[in-house]
Amino acid sequence: MGWVRRNLEMIVLILSGVLLAAGGIAWWVSAADTARWLWIADTLLGLVFALAATLQAARQHRPTVDIIAVLALAGALAVDEPLAGAIITLMLATGQVLEAMADARARRELSLLTARAPRTATRVTADGLVEIAVADVVIGDRLLVRPGEVVPVDGRLAQDSTFDESALTGEPVPVERPAGEDVRSGVVNVAGPAEILTTTTAETSTYAALVRLVEAAQATSAPFVRTADRWAIAFVPLTLVLAGVAWAVSADPVRAVAVLVVATPCPLLLAAPIAIVSGLSRAARLGVVVKGGGALEQLARGKVVIVDKTGTLTRGRPELADVITAPGYDADVALRLAASVDQLSAHVLAGPIVEAARARGLDLAMPADVIETHGQGVEGVVDGRRIRVGRYTWIAGPSPERWIRRVRRRADLDGSASSLVEVDDVVVAALLLRDPIRPDAPRMVRALRAAGVTRVVLATGDRADVGTAVGRIVGVDQVLADCTPEDKLTALGREAAHGATIMVGDGINDAPALAAADVGVALAARGATASSEAADVVLTVDRIDALADAMAVAKRSRRIALQAVGVGMGLSLLAMIAAAWGLLAPTVGAALQEVIDLLAIAIALRAVLPGRLHSVALSEEDRATLASLHEEHESVAPLVERLATVADALDAHEPDLADAVALVDALENDLLPHERADEERLVPLVARARGTDEAVAALSRTHAEIEHQVGRLRRLLDGIDGDPEPDDIVELRRMLYGLYGVLRLHNAQEDEDAFSLMPARG
């Protein structure tokens, strides 16, 4: 029976088609009575089906056009027009099947959340460790949380430890918590064994509250009201009045039935769902899975976008930003040694360090005697030298050197994570890592505004200065920092006053807001999460700007659906007037209605054709050119950070220009040829892709400025005769910092305007 209920619409459609065709064959072979009874059976099938749909709508207190189908089918039987009734049944069943396809929504489950929740806890007792059910934890229990385990209930730490809190905050970098500080359930212990004193039970803990938030938000989500139901408010009374007038004036019930037959609103039941299904198909080709017609229409209506930061506007994973070395030490050597040891570390920062070393073409060695201190760092022997890579406090100690303090200050200002590299008990380098902004994020925000979004809000669990910096770069209207899942729900409620809301996120902590928003959009290119289960729209490509394309598809599909409905219902209205005047018999009216349906469907099918999108298509040759230039772009990136490192090391009292001379040589031999290649090959490519030379004016201007500044540096160094004066060092430092700023901005422009055109990697 369950299978029958799930496939009822398709069963009715098949039976209706078989009965109508069988009746046609019987009529063709002169078995008129058999044909009549087959069509009567078909009409009765449609009547039962339509009546059930009408009663269900009545129970839900919503208007429906199905009442017209009920009256038309009953009228066809009453005036002995079974063929007209059979045709109506086929139209009705077809519309129901297409509507079911259009409104089919992926089941929202909490499987990931519930599977991740711990079932047991380890209680510390006088007699040792005891495994208990999480439900049996009481306030005041001492619990042991082993490395890699999820904290089962909220508690207070007995010793320092480090936790991955991304499930609650969305932030990827582990957080160090000192003894005595509260720790929330749902976070993962990434250090050594940690002991906590419980302050809540499992039922009242943070993670349980997060699960309840998702459940409550899903339960209160308003159902999608299809276009047909809204039009029915005016269409149903109009049809009944016209049919009643036709019957009263002519005293012929057949005219009333004819009016009802041509009024059967198949343009609503067929054309609109087809346009929506076509839009769903078109969005899927762009890497956007929209879970049903309701979500597509709501996406088209979106006016306010609330977007998470980490993993959404940023990559969601730290990347090596800079290698700062002690005076006289080579950056590549330091990075190679650190990455060699990190090959055997599971720490969240180890992977990006290894990837950066390999991207620079460094030959990594396999370390020996590797020991990892959870939450602190890793050490091992590489090429006979003892290497340690890890936290600032673990390696530098209480009295670090001046250059290390400067690195720490810079990391704090930039919101970067840092790892120090120690070789044979000497700190030789600092590795700065940050979560970079997606190059397509600013274009996505601009494209959303062009698509009709009036307000964009950034809601992040990160601190205010980091969130504000990201928000300013991508161009949002407001930044909400230090947000919990509850704060995001509150923001959604507040922003709903400005229009339909769209929530964009990628973490478990975003699931409640994704479920509560009018449209939840999840990024799932890096794997399925609870966010994708709670969302209405899932981006399967690792490009946030695909959301703007999906919104354009949604608006176009909705517009075409309304056009199809308008044309179809307009022609139906004319046919109703003709039927009221007695110009159409019920069977002829049913056939005419089929013609109107076909026209409406043809209009609706336009939605499957490509429309105008903000993204651009590149030829294979252009893609290859972009990939080649991007590889060069990445290879010269260390030169940019080297500018700041060399400038930092310049000392007016003990001037040494050797590093500065070597740097300018590298700029002339490596950087400038790349910038010239960009001007010759990249600029014309971007201009073609964007359709205007204005799109690349800024790139060309900065190419010229970079060459000008490198030339000035060379002239300054050539002009220093003998020992440099302090003023020479000051000027040199100023020019290096200036060029550093220009190149940082220029590289960001190239990432956004040019290299964001590349297909998503990974």
- Provide the annotated active-site residues: 308
Question: Which among 270, 265, 272, 290 is positioned nearest to 280, based on CA atoms?
Answer: 290
Residue ranges of alpha helices (H) inside 517-668 are 530-534, 546-580, 586-604, 620-649, 658-666
Judge contact between 708 and 752, C-beta under 8 A: no
The sign of the dihedral angle between the CA atoms of 251, 254, 260, 263 is negative
- Eight-state DSSP code of residue 224: P
Q: Is 756 exposed, middle or buried (0-12, 13-18, 19+ CB in 10 A)?
A: buried
For residues 499 and 746, what is the distance between their CA atoms, to the nearest angstrom? 37
For residues 527 and 1, what is the distance between their CA atoms, to the nearest angstrom? 35
For residues 517 and 529, what is the distance between their CA atoms, to the nearest angstrom? 18
- Eight-state DSSP code of residue 508: G
* CA 724 to mean position of chain CA atoms: 55
End-to-end CA distance of the chain: 44
Q: What angle do CA 316, 318, 321 make, to 5 degrees?
A: 135
Residue ranges of alpha helices (H) inside 391-500 are 392-396, 402-414, 441-450, 464-474, 485-495
DSSP string, 637-697: HHHHHHHHHHHHH--SSS---HHHHHHHHHIIIIIHHHHHHIIIIIHHHHHHHHTSGGGGH
With the CA atoms of 192, 198, 201 and 206 taken in that order, what torsion angle do they form, in degrees rounded to the nearest 10?
A: -60
- Eight-state DSSP code of residue 497: G
Structure tokens belonging to residue 418: 């840092």
